[in-house]
Amino acid sequence: MKINILPVIIFLLAGIFSVNAQNAIDKKVDALLSQMTLDEKIGQMTQVDYDAIKKNVDDIVKYYLGSILCGGNSEPDDITAKGWANLYDSFQNLALTTRLKIPIIWGIDAVHGHNNVDGATIFPHNVGLGATHNPKLVEQVAAVTAAEIKGTGMQWDFAPCVAVARDERWGRTYESYGENPDLVKMLGAAYVKGMQGKNLSDKTSVLACVKHFAGDGGTTNGKDQGNTEIDEETLRKIHLQGYVEAIKAGAKSIMVSYSSWNNEKLHEHKYLLTDVLKRELGFKGFLVSDWAAIDQLGKDYKSDIEKSINAGLDMIMIPNGYGQNNNYVDFITKLKELVNENKVPLSRIDDAARRILKVKFELGLFKNPMTDKQLTTQIGSKKHREIARDAVRQSLVLLKNDNKVLPLSKNLKRIHVTGKSADDIGNQCGGWTISWQSKSGNVISGGTTILQAIKNTVSKNTEVTTSTDGSGAEGADVCIVVVGETPYAEMIGDREDLSLAKEDAEAIEKAKTSGVPVVVILISGRPMLIEPSLKISDSFVAAWLPGTEGQGVADVLFGDFKPVGKLPHSWPKNMQQIPINIGDTNYDPLFPYGFGLTY
């Protein structure tokens, strides 16, 4: 038997080249670190929000700042791709005037596409991607997102979120892929691979930031920034799996959670951050805090700094500016004092700076720190939107289809489309779209609403009529009612009642009285209480938060693509059942985890 040893040789050579490349980077990091003062090392550990520094941009040079971020509502006046790229380049040019010319790394919450940029491609939120159960698709979504981020010069995405959402009352449920840790770890790892590419230094590769470590999806009563009250075995079995797989996939940054584990804040949890994450799991990248999160550790900011850095935090996210407590100058000053007082070991500072610098070298930031303007022109491109459209198609879950109302014919005489979300791109996209909480309406340029997608799909002889309240369907061949949640994000999204809004339930009821078949499309970031509306509808589709490409919804409605989505969450009958998750005793949901019909 003849054996082809060429693949083995290629594999071995690749391993040798990889080791040699890492050794070369390690030598560069050590050489640079040996030249750095304490001030320069602490500067690398300091991440400042754009709003906090935009009036004092020379502080980038003065304090040797290592990182800038733009929080959910922090943005330039010009939020086009060109405007963002110009902002980034101006800040990077400043950083390169420092003594050692260390480039900044710029982070942003691009959690479903490059969502702070007007005209960007907006994908389904993670709950929708979870419904696809398709890691190859998620890898594609991440790769496109990375390319669009790089088109604005930035190199660091605060994603993926690998929280395992165990209680739909949690306002961040849509940022989770689902309730099952197996699903979350599969898709989280896929996202890291897509975001970071084969090599971090590749033209379109971006540093992933896996979040929020750890257990944020398991807080009691689904309270955001709350307390996860479980034993360590359960924490490891459910909430650590996503991090284990993400690290194997090459993740080099992790964001720590606001939440607590059994009443101890994660930002001061040395056992989990250092003993488990860095030592046991072998995480070689760096840890970043969440937005002003160390401020929650106590009333004394200097003590907060001491506890968080000694616990294992490498970079601290600081949103506040001058004239406010706990601003970045205060952080830098107090951390330096702590080192001089031997309360924070210099070895801990060196370790943090080394981890950050190594990632910067791996990203190729020292060689290519500026925006690639060729990538800027590709943001929101047709090619990117086609991938988003496919993600929408695969994310839809068909919950009911009595009398085989779906798929619809494109040659019907009249289709009536109603409901408050039928022609609302803001509702389709949900939170984290241009602004943190986002809003209804035309929040972003580009994209297609579900109403427009229907009009694009039907024959030229089909009349499409509309309303917002369910009225006007009499005499139509079918009535499509698009209802659901309006945009929200963390904290504001926490709910005690997941019932449909009164106006949504009434729109469905009114459509039913017209005597025509009723198809309901639910726009939401989580399962909702739908049983009364489900009973009176002929077909019911969970569309999650599909993003800008509503054409993907029409593709499924009219049979160009068969439904393939499966529930990433158990669907509750009532609030008394929540939390409900697969594997529970007395498991009796309205629809079980993994449910989904097709044609």
Q: What is the mean pLDDT of residues 277-291?
A: 98
Q: What is the mean pLDDT of the chain?
A: 96
| β-bridge mates for residue 465, sequence order | 416
Q: What angle do CA 69, 144, 24 make, to 5 degrees?
A: 65
> What pLDDT does residue 15 have?
58
> What pLDDT does residue 72 have?
86
Q: Side-chain half-sphere of 454: how many Cα atoms within 13 Å?
A: 26
Per-residue pLDDT of 332-364, as tens digits, reads 999 999 999 999 999 999 999 999 999 999 999
DSSP letter string, 541-567: EEEE---SBTHHHHHHHTTSS------
> What pLDDT does residue 6 have?
62
Domains of the chain: 41-376 (3.20.20.300), 396-577 (3.40.50.1700)
Quote the percentage of the chain above a pLDDT of 70: 96
Per-residue pLDDT of 241-263, as tens digits, reads 999 999 999 999 999 999 999 99
372 near 151, Cβ under 8 Å? yes
| β-bridge mates for residue 315, sequence order | 288
Q: Give the strand order in the sheet containing 46-49.
A: 207-208, 156-157, 105-108, 67-70, 46-49, 316-318
Q: How confident is the model at residue 320 (pLDDT cuts 50, 70, 90)?
A: confident
Distance CA(580)–CA(591), nearest Å, equals 11
Per-residue pLDDT of 89-137, as tens digits, reads 999 999 999 999 999 999 999 999 999 999 999 999 999 999 999 999 9
- pLDDT at 9 > cutoff 60: no
Helices of type H across 36-108: 38-44, 50-53, 59-62, 81-95
- pLDDT at 14 > cutoff 60: no
- pLDDT at 173 > cutoff 80: yes
Non-local (6+) Cβ contacts of 12 within 8 A are none
Residue 455 class from Cβ within 10 Å (0-12 exposed, 13-18 middle, 19+ buried)? middle
Q: Global pTM?
A: 0.95
- pLDDT at 411 > cutoff 70: yes
SS3 155: coil
Per-residue pLDDT of 441-460, as tens digits, reads 999 999 999 999 999 999 99
Helices of type H across 411-527: 425-429, 450-457, 502-513
Helices of type H across 363-396: 373-376, 382-395
Distance CA(460)–CA(416), nearest Å, equals 15
109 is catalytic: no
103 near 349, Cβ under 8 Å? no
**Which one from 290, 304, 494, 538 is the annotated catalytic residue?**
290
> What pLDDT does residue 133 have?
98
From residue 573, alpha-carbon distances to 117, 159, 486, 534, 576 in Å are 38, 32, 21, 11, 8
> What pLDDT does residue 2 have?
57
Q: What is the mean pLDDT of residues 229-246?
A: 98
Q: What letter does residue 366 receive in the DSSP assignment?
A: T
Per-residue pLDDT of 141-172, as tens digits, reads 999 999 999 999 999 999 999 999 999 999 99
Pairing of strands 264-265, 260-261: antiparallel
The amino acid that residue 174 corresponds to is Y
- pLDDT at 474 > cutoff 70: yes
> What pLDDT does residue 29 have?
97
Q: How confident is the model at residue 16 (pLDDT cuts 50, 70, 90)?
A: low
Q: How confident is the model at residue 3 (pLDDT cuts 50, 70, 90)?
A: low
Distance CA(239)–CA(179), nearest Å, equals 10
